[in-house]
Chains A and B, each alone.
Chain A
Amino acid sequence: MLRIKQRASGLWRLLTSMSLGITLLLLAIVFAIAGTYNPQVFASPWFLLLSGLLTLNIVCTTGVRIRRLIGRDTTVPRVFNSQKDHRLISLGQCSPERVTSEAVGELKRLGFAVNLKEFEQGRLITGKKRAWVKFASPLLHLAVVLLVIGSVIGSMWGLKGHYQIEVPGQADLTKDGFPFDLRVNEFNIEYYEDGTPRQYTSSLAIIKGEEVEDTRNIAVNRPLKQQGVKVYQSTYGYNLEGSIKRGDETATFKVEEGDLIFLGGPAHLAMEVQWPRYLVYSQGIPFSMGIAELNEPLNILNMEVTFNERIPFTGLEVKSDPGLPLIWLSFIIGLLGLTLRLYVKPQTIWLLQGQREGNIELRLASGQRVKEQQHAEYIAQRLGGIFREECSFKV
C-alpha cells in the first residue's frame, strides 16, 4: 500500500515538474521538424501521445500553481528562514500596535494592499501590489489547454466536406448531416488588368426543405456563415462532357478538365484537355496535340472524339466546427495572459514583526525586482526615522 502511495507521489512529482515540460517541448520540436518532411508524423500515435502528455503536464503544473496562489499561507515566507534574504530592524521598546499601524500606513501610502496574519514567529504584514498578475501565467497555460480541447472537439464533432457543384446546380449537404442544402446560381471570376484573377465569387441559395431561405454571395476570404456552418469559396474548374466513337460503338464521358480521358485502342491513347488545347498521349508519351471546339469531332487514329459541353463548377468547402469558439477564446485569453505575464509586474513586501527580550524586531523582505527593493529600502528608512525618536533604534 505504502509502495503504491510512494509510486503515485513520485509520478505526481514527475507530472508536475518543469523538467518534464521542457523535455516534452524539446521532443515536440523534434517531432514537428520530422513532420515538415513527412506530414504522417502528425497523425502518428507517438505524436498524439506526446501532445497528450504535454497537455497533461500543463494541466497539472497549472493546477498546482493555482492551488498555491489561492491557498492560504500556513507558514511565514521562506525568505525569513535565511539571514541574507531579509534585513533585521531592531526597534527597541515600542508598542507593538504602534509599529504595526505605522508599517501598514507606510505600505498603504506606497499603494500596497495590506494583509495581517499571526504566526508563531510573530505578526506577518504582507503588502501586495497587482497581486492578480500572478494569475497571468496560469491563464496563459489554460489558454493552451483550451486550444487543445477546442481542436479535439472540432475533430470529434465537426463536419467537413468538399463539394464541386456545376453552375447552375445543387449540392445535397443535408445527406452529410449539414442543416441545409445549397444551390449555386452563378459563378464569376473578376480579373485584374494584367489578366490575373482578382476574386472568385459564387452566388448561393440556402435551401431548407423545398424553400429558398436566403441568397448570398461568397468569395475567397468572405465565407458564408449560417447556423454554425461555414461555406468557403475553395476552387473552381470545368467538367467536359462528350463522346468517343470507334466504328459503330459510341461511348460517352464526363471528366474534370485537366484529368485524363482514356481513349484506349491498341496505342493506349489518353487525352488531356486544357481548354481549348488538347494533348494526346500514347502510353504516357506525347503523341499529338491540337485545338478543340465544342461539337466539332476530332479525329484521332480511328477514333472520333467530340466535346458537347464544357460546364463550369465551383468548389466549395463546407464545415461546421463546434470547437472554434473555444479556439478564439483561447487566443484572446492567451494573448492577455502573455502580455500581463511579460509586461506587468506584481510586487510584494513582507514585514515580520516579532519580539525578543522585550524589544520589537521587524524583519523586512521583498521580491527580487528593483522596484520592490527600492520600496523596501524606502520603508526601512521611514520606519527607522519614525521610531528613532521614540524608541532606541538600531539596524
Chain B
Amino acid sequence: MMPVIERYLFEATFWIYALGAMLFLLYTVTEKKRLVSVAIFLAGAGLVIHTSGLVLRAVNIGRMPFANMYEFTIFFTWGLVLLYLFSHRKQPIPLLGTVVMPVAVALMAGAGMMNGAARPLMPALQSHWMQAHVATAVLAYGAFGVSFGVGVLYLIRESQSVPVATSASATGQGQPVLPALETLDTMLYRTIAFGFLFLTLVLITGAVWAEQVWGAWWSWDPKETWALITWMVYAVFLHGRFTRGWQGRRTAWLAVVGFAAVMFTLFGVTWLMPGLHSYN
C-alpha cells in the first residue's frame, strides 16, 4: 500500500511543479505579478508534498532514500527547489523560477522514467559517510542549479541593449522584470560560493568513505574525476572573481558550464562510463 501512496505523492509533486513552471512561463509573457505569487506558492506546496513523499519512502524502505539514480534524482530535485525557494526569500527574482522550475520538472519527469524499485542497501553503501556524501551533494547541486538560473538570466539581461522593459504597462508598478546586473552578479557569487563549499564537502566525505570501503581515498574513478572537474570549474570562477575581478558575462558563462558539468557528473557518467558509482 505504502509504495502506491508514495508514487502518488511524487506524481502530485510533478504536476504541481509543472503547474508552477507553467505559471512562471505565463508570467514572462504577461508580466502579471500575481502569477509569480501563485507559482511560488505552488513550488512551496509541491516541496511539502515532495518532502512527505521522501519521508514516506524512507519509512517504507527503512533507510534514507538515496541509493540509486531514481532516489537521487528525486532527492536532487528536492534540493534544487528548496534552494530556489531559499534564494527567493533572500532575493526575489521572479524570472528565476522560469529557468529553475522547468529544470525541476524535467528532473522529476526523468525520475519517473527510471526504475523506482527499492532494493536493499548493498554492503558498500552502508555507511554514515555515504549519507553525508549524498546529503551534501543534494545541497551543492541544488545551489549550482540556482546559480545556473541566475547565470542564464544574467546573459539575457546583458544581451538586452536597452534598459529592460518595465512591467509598468501590465501592472502599473513600474518595476523592472529583471534586477540590475550587479544584483544578479552578487547572487551568482553567493549561490556558487555556497555550492562550492558543499561540493568540497561532497569530495571530502566521498574520499573518507572510499578510504573506509575500498582502502583508497582517491582512485580516478570517472564519477570522482568528474566531480573534481566540476570543482575545478567553480574554482576557476572563484579565483577569477577574487583575484582578477572577473565579473559579468564571463562568470555567467562559467556558471552555465559548471552546471553542465554537474549534470554530466550526475547522469552522463552514470550512463556512459562504467565505474564504482554505477551500481546497477
Contacts and interface: CB of A to CB of B under 8 A. Distances in A.
A359 interface: no
Given A21-B239, A199-B123, A221 B273 contact: no
B201 interface: yes
6 contacts: A29-B232, A219-B123, A220-B123, A221-B213, A234-B214, A234-B215
B155 to A, nearest CB: 21
Contact of B215 (A21, A39, A319, A339): A319
B197 A339 contact: yes
B228 interface: yes
B220 interface: yes
Interface of A: 18-19, 21-22, 25-26, 28-29, 32-33, 35-36, 39, 42, 137, 151, 160, 192, 194, 196-200, 219-221, 223, 230, 232, 234, 317, 319, 324, 327-328, 331, 334-335, 338-339, 342
A335 B204 contact: yes
A194 to B, nearest CB: 7
Judged by DSSP, the binding face of B is helix
A338 B123 contact: no
Given A196-B120, A335-B201, 16 more contacts: A19-B244, A29-B233, A35-B220, A35-B225, A137-B242, A151-B218, A194-B120, A197-B122, A199-B123, A220-B126, A223-B212, A324-B211, A327-B217, A331-B208, A334-B200, A338-B200
A194 B124 CA distance: 18
Contacts of B127: 221
A38 to B, nearest CB: 11
B236 A25 contact: yes
Interface of B: 119-120, 122-124, 126-127, 193, 196-197, 200-201, 204, 207-208, 211-215, 217-218, 220, 222, 225-226, 228-229, 232-233, 235-236, 239-240, 242-244, 269, 273
B240 A22 contact: yes
B57 to A, nearest CB: 17
B265 to A, nearest CB: 10
Contacts of A26: 236
Nearest to B213: A221
Given A199-B123, A334-B200, A220 B226 contact: no
Given A232-B213, A317-B214, A335-B201, A32 B232 contact: yes
A268 to B, nearest CB: 31
B197 A198 contact: no
A255 B193 CA distance: 54
Contacts of A335: 200-201, 204
Contacts of A223: 212, 215
A327 B226 CA distance: 20
Nearest to B125: A221
Contacts of A192: 120
B34 to A, nearest CB: 33
Contacts of A197: 122-123
A36 B273 contact: yes
Contacts of B225: 32, 35-36
Contacts of A327: 207, 217
A139 to B, nearest CB: 14
B226 A36 contact: yes
B215 A317 contact: yes
B240 A220 contact: no
Contacts of B196: 338, 342
A221 B126 contact: yes
B134 to A, nearest CB: 15
B122 A18 contact: no
A380 B204 CA distance: 46
A69 to B, nearest CB: 15
B124 A221 contact: yes
